[in-house]
């Protein structure tokens, strides 16, 4: 694959600038556009190159020339192979896939392999590999013929005369015994390991008298004894002799034919060696003709391979192009989204400030805390790669920042910010859960009551389900927890679950008790605590939530 095509995967990877800052989305968009234009320009040049080649040499003419040269190649290849085993059969239909498969089989037959960097589909020099492998095979055959000629060079005419005489002798024997092989098989056993008929007659002639006299008491063997007694030993021997008279000349004729055939094989080898000069000339001419044919074949085949590779490359490029366009579209959308969220949202800031102040006002505060102010200047902290953080400075009425407040005031501010954030961006949250860890320790009793009412409103208040939150509160202070629970008792129709951890086991983990708390008619009516709660609700008002 061309380098400019391989680089396509790098076009949507954003890198940090040399100064350690983050590249703007606009810069990434422009770079993608430049790369896309650059690629399209290079693609256009390559496409024009092949279009011009096709105009000068149309596809149908390439195929026609390939078929014509392949038809010339087949008889030359058959002459080279000369009936030897293991050589692949040339394909009848000529195309790049079939030629590639045929070439790979030839390479394996001749002991060659593709280069390490090449594969069946990508190796660009397959035509050259086919030419070189067949040339090496012809060189091997020429050298082998020369070596055989050096060992033996008798007079070919005399050898041929002896060869003719031997063939004539075999023909004479076969004329005498027209059905020699069939006749030899007439009295042989069909299964291997069993005796033939002659051996059976001989065995009967020598042993039947003894077998017939064997003491046999079992009734089911009486038939065997009867058959043995019916056999006459002398007659069995005569049958064996008659078979001998008939078989011996045929067996001798078969042995003679085998000897003559071995002699013919040796005479042919000597004759071939005596004709080495002619064979070498034939092989040299075959090599020359095959080399010319293969070089003629290489031109249309290589052209076909390149055009097919170009077509496949075009398909891959279209995929890359669509990928880049999609990436560019995503980057542009992301740029717009980033621009939208990066610009200061004064409306959201003001909503956030009012919510914090509204929640904070529910606590018992010292003077000059409210109204709060949010610093309008956003601060972008690139503390992590590809991450932008926004923070606002919260300032009290008298100019104090969070670091100037007491522990209790910080806790009040933290609770206010948590609740305000959760409400301000509730449309962006995928959950309605608030987790609170040990929120009772930083407050006095009055503020603890006010905070409990806040969480109770978040859990049970609101006209719609979306306005309510699932609140989880953890605490390790037993007395404060008991006081907190009285304030969190749910309204009628709702329930609260209490999980009390009682111990820990290394094997089984925590031990705990569960309680389901439901309201009763006297829940908020008895005692001084209920009275104080009602007064607080009256003093605080409903705020953004409906108090229960």
pLDDT bucket at 276, cuts 50 / 70 / 90: low
| Tens-place pLDDT, residues 499-525 | 888 899 988 889 989 988 887 755 444
Nearest CA to 512 among 530, 498, 525, 522?
498
Give me the mean pLDDT over the 87-109 stretch: 90
Cα distances from 319 to residues 14, 33, 315, 415, in angstroms, run: 21, 17, 7, 53
Lowest mean pLDDT among 105-119, 152-166, 368-382, 448-462: 368-382
* pLDDT for 546: 34
* pLDDT for 70: 92
Give me the mean pLDDT over the 225-247 stretch: 85
* pLDDT for 88: 92
- 146 pLDDT higher than 80: no
Q: Residues of the chain with pLDDT > 90: what percent?
A: 7
- 405 pLDDT higher than 90: no
Nearest CA to 41 among 317, 307, 309, 305?
317
Cα distances from 21 to residues 18, 321, 339, 382, 431, in angstroms, run: 7, 30, 17, 7, 34
User: Of residues 84 and 443, which shows the higher confidence score?
Assistant: 84
Domain layout of the chain by residue ranges: 1-153+277-343, 156-274, 431-548
- 257 pLDDT higher than 50: yes
* pLDDT for 386: 46
- 8 A C-beta contact, residue 214 and residue 281: no
* pLDDT for 91: 92
Each as own residue / partner, the long-range contacts of residues 192-195 (CB below 8 Å, 24 or more positions apart, any chain) are none
* pLDDT for 376: 57
Q: Which residue has the tokens 């329930």?
A: 495
Distance (Å, whole) CA 207 – CA 501: 104
Helix (H) or strand (E) holding 446: helix 445-460
pTM as predicted: 0.37
| Tens-place pLDDT, residues 7-20 | 434 433 333 333 33
* pLDDT for 408: 77
* pLDDT for 344: 59
For residue 90, what are its two tokens?
Answer: 């040339």
């Amino acid at each position: 694959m061309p380098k400019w095509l391989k680089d396509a995967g790098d076009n949507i990877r954003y890198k940090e600038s040399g100064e350690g800052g983050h590249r703007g989305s606009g810069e990434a968009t422009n770079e993608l556009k430049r790369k896309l234009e650059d690629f399209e320009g290079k693609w256009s040049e390559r496409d024009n190159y092949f279009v011009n080649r096709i105009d000068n040499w149309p596809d149908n003419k390439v195929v026609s020339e390939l078929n014509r040269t392949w038809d010339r190649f087949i008889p030359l290849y058959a002459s080279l192979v000369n009936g030897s085993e293991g050589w692949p059969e040339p394909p009848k239909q000529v195309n790049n896939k079939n030629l590639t498969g045929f070439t790979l089989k030839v390479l394996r037959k001749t002991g060659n392999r593709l280069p390490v960097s090449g594969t069946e589909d990508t190796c660009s020099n397959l035509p050259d590999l086919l030419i070189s492998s067949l040339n090496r095979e012809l060189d091997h055959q020429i050298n082998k013929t020369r070596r055989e000629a050096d060992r033996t060079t008798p007079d070919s005419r005399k050898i041929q005369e002896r060869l003719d005489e031997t063939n004539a002798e075999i023909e004479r024997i076969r004329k005498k015994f027209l059905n020699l092989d069939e006749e030899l098989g007439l009295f042989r056993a069909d299964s291997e390991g069993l005796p033939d008929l002659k051996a059976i007659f001989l065995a009967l002639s020598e042993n039947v008298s003894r077998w017939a006299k064997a003491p046999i008491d079992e009734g089911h063997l009486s038939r065997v004894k009867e058959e043995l007694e019916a056999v006459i030993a002398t007659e069995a021997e005569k049958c064996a002799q008659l078979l001998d008279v008939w078989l011996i000349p045929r067996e001798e004729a078969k042995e003679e034919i085998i000897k003559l055939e071995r002699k013919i094989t040796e005479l042919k080898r000597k004759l071939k060696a005596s004709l080495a000069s002619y064979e070498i000339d034939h092989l040299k001419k075959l090599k020359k003709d095959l080399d010319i044919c293969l070089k003629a074949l290489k031109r249309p085949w290589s052209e076909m391979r390149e055009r097919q590779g170009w077509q496949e490359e075009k398909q891959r490029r279209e995929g890359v192009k669509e990928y880049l366009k999609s990436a560019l579209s995503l980057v542009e959308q992301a740029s717009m989204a980033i621009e939208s969220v990066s610009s200061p949202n004064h409306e959201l800031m003001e909503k956030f400030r009012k919510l914090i102040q509204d929640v904070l006002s529910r606590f018992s505060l010292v003077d000059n805390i409210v109204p709060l102010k949010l610093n309008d200047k956003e601060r972008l902290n690139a503390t992590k790669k590809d991450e932008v953080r926004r923070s606002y400075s919260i300032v009290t009425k008298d100019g104090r920042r969070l670091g100037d407040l007491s522990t209790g005031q910080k806790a009040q501010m933290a609770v206010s910010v948590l609740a305000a954030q959760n409400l301000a961006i509730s449309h962006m949250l995928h959950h309605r859960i608030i987790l609170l860890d040990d929120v009772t320790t930083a407050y006095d009793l009055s503020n603890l009551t006010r905070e409990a009412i806040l969480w109770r409103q978040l859990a049970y208040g609101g006209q719609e389900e979306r306005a309510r939150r699932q609140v989880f509160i953890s605490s390790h202070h037993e007395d404060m927890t008991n006081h907190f629970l009285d304030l969190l008792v749910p309204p009628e129709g709702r329930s609260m679950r209490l999980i009390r951890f009682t111990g820990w086991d290394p094997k089984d983990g925590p031990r705990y008790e569960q309680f389901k708390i439901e309201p009763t008619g006297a829940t908020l009516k008895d005692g001084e605590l209920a009275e104080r709660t009602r007064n607080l609700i009256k003093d605080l008002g409903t705020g953004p939530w409906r108090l229960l």
